[in-house]
Chains A and B, each alone.
Chain A
Amino acid sequence: MDVLVERLVAGSTEGAVYALIALSLVVVFRGTGTINFAQGEMALFTTFVAWSVIARDLPVWVALLVATASGFVLGALVERFLVRPVRKRNDMAVLIVLLGLFTVFNSLDGLIWGGETKVLASLLPNGPDDYVALGPARIYGDTAAVWIGTVLVLIALTVLFRCTRTGLHMRAVANDGEAAALAGVRVGRVLSLSWGLAGAIGSAAGVLVTPLAPAQLSLLTMLAIFLSAAAAALLGGLDSLVGAVVAGLSIGVLEALVIGYVPGVGSNLSETTVLVIIVLVLLVRPQGLFGTKKLERV
């Protein structure tokens, strides 16, 4: 029983991490119909920025704000100057651009901040005694920060998409860009905004998540996280906010349970196991758990 609770807490924390990054992927996908493969690395870049801010003796929340703002700008700039011009010609080429950005940002991090592992301070108090006991499990500050962050982002995005004019325009653009333009929606601006928003979410996620990451703050921090987050977005249906969160949590918990209960499966194989499960689910439900089934009208 104790093992189960401990595994569930660990798994859902890991899952909340995936969910946060997956949410940023969903926001981009809803706007542009592409998976931003550079999302994780862009988030890592701004997390390094946050580290530099903290290194100047500024509080973590300032670093979080700086990282989030620079993530927004970075996302919007990437959309405006790299994705948009390429996308006009060829959707496939966008993928290559994003894969290129993936390596560019990673190398840039190495160039600016060097290869050695750094420690990023946690937003909430994270000392050995700063925990809330949940049965046998202890929830430390860094864990709580990730959970709270995920819930807040999910609520904020839901309100944005459901209740605001900007959200309405974002959905319209996602549905049919040309029709939206004709209805007077400034499609370009909406797309930049989507990417900026995704960049901001990713960056906030980076700052919250890094203190928990096995690799701490290093050039490898985001690799494994991004892979699982992308899987979560895909499993959730790519265009569903709730789907991203549910899938992210499921993947995190599944991984934790596999590690805890399946003998002979180390943490490396746990990822493989989970990915296999995802493939099986997608074979049955290609649109993902919560995704919209695309209707073709002839």
Chain B
Amino acid sequence: MPSTPVAAPPAHLRIDRLTLEFGGVRALSEVSIDLAGGGIIGLIGPNGAGKTSLLNCISGFYRPTSGDVTLDGRSVLDMRRHQLAGQGIARTFQNLALFGEMSVYDNVAAGAPRGRRRLRGVPGLRPPGTGAAERDAVWAMLERFDLVQHARHPAHGLPFGTLKRVEFARALMARPRVLLLDEPAGGLTHTEVDELGGLITDVVRDLAPVVLLIEHHMGLILSVCSRIVVMDSGRTIADGPTEQVRHDPAVISAYLGGGADLAAR
């Protein structure tokens, strides 16, 4: 897998008429979202709207009934999960999926991409010093996420907010081109949410991934997202620039039961 060159064009993730049925229940119904152009896209909607189901389809956990998800024109639905990681798709989970018995350092290190074999133009040969470079990369990531003091601590037993950062750090180790974040602010304190917003914008500035951000925390959504997609009952009911969507009466009534502006949340 090529490591992301500095000036790579943003990944083009496209969700095309995606339908997902469990028995007779339609979790997703012809959802189409074109994430051309990248940036941070907020995915909001009431509980049960199908947001996580959508993420699960993209990251290979659910097999959609029909429709397609493509990355730069290639369908990702038939890819194995480790291949998705190789293609640059990374995600975090609402309820975390960490290696509880492993140290924070090892958790983050597990996200590092497999050896970059073509470094220095010698195919198949692992250049000397790669191991050290990789350790440095892990430590740099731990530092960035303020995790250095927890590095040797096993993941279980640490506070939820800390674990959220561990998972985020692990997802970033592979320098993803597509980053799927499922309620990263859930369970965080006020200050932590503010820091998270800063981290997400930093990441986008440095790595320029396409970020699909599921979040109930409207403050976070409004402060970092350039575009918002709203889902309800398995469909997209609005999709557009943040400023436009937040004042959309249909969105306000579906999401809040009418009345208030989204910013009031």
Contacts and interface: CB of A to CB of B under 8 A. Distances in A.
Interface of A: 165, 168-169, 171-172, 175-176, 178-187, 292, 295, 297
Contact of B99 (A172, A184, A186): A172
A178 B56 CA distance: 12
Interface stretch (B7-15, B45-53, B102-110): B102-110
Interface in B54-83: 59, 61, 80-82
Contacts of A182: 59, 81, 84-85, 90-91, 97
B100 A187 contact: no
Contacts of A172: 99, 102, 106, 110
B interface residue count range (under 10 / 10 to 19 / 20 to 34 / 35 or more): 20 to 34
B156 A295 contact: yes
B97 A292 contact: no
B98 A176 contact: yes
Contacts of A175: 99-102
A171 B106 contact: yes
A184 B82 CA distance: 4
B91 to A, nearest CB: 7
Contact of B174 (A165, A181, A184): A184
9 contacts: A168-B110, A171-B106, A172-B102, A176-B97, A178-B97, A180-B110, A185-B82, A187-B81, A297-B100
Contacts, number: 64
Contact of B102 (A165, A171, A181, A295): A171
Given A165-B115, A171-B106, A181-B80, 20 more contacts: A165-B114, A168-B110, A172-B99, A172-B102, A172-B106, A172-B110, A175-B101, A175-B102, A176-B97, A176-B99, A178-B61, A178-B97, A179-B98, A181-B82, A182-B91, A183-B111, A183-B170, A185-B82, A186-B82, A295-B100
A171 B155 CA distance: 13
A182 B80 CA distance: 9
Nearest to B113: A184
B186 interface: no
A183 B85 CA distance: 6
A185 B114 CA distance: 8
Contacts of B114: 165, 184
Contacts of B91: 182
A183 B84 CA distance: 9
A206 B174 CA distance: 42
A295 B85 CA distance: 28
Contacts of B115: 165
A295 B100 CA distance: 8
A176 B96 CA distance: 11
A184 B87 CA distance: 9
A295 B158 CA distance: 13
A230 B106 CA distance: 29
A168 B82 contact: no
A181 B81 contact: yes
Nearest to B1: A184
Rank and list the top 8 A-B pairs by shortest CB-CB distance, nearest first. A184-B85, A175-B99, A179-B97, A181-B81, A172-B110, A183-B111, A186-B82, A183-B110
A29 to B, nearest CB: 14
Contacts of A179: 97-99
A181 B111 CA distance: 10
B106 A168 contact: yes
A292 B59 CA distance: 30
A297 B102 CA distance: 16
Most B-side CB within 10 Å, residue of A182, A186, A187, A295? A182
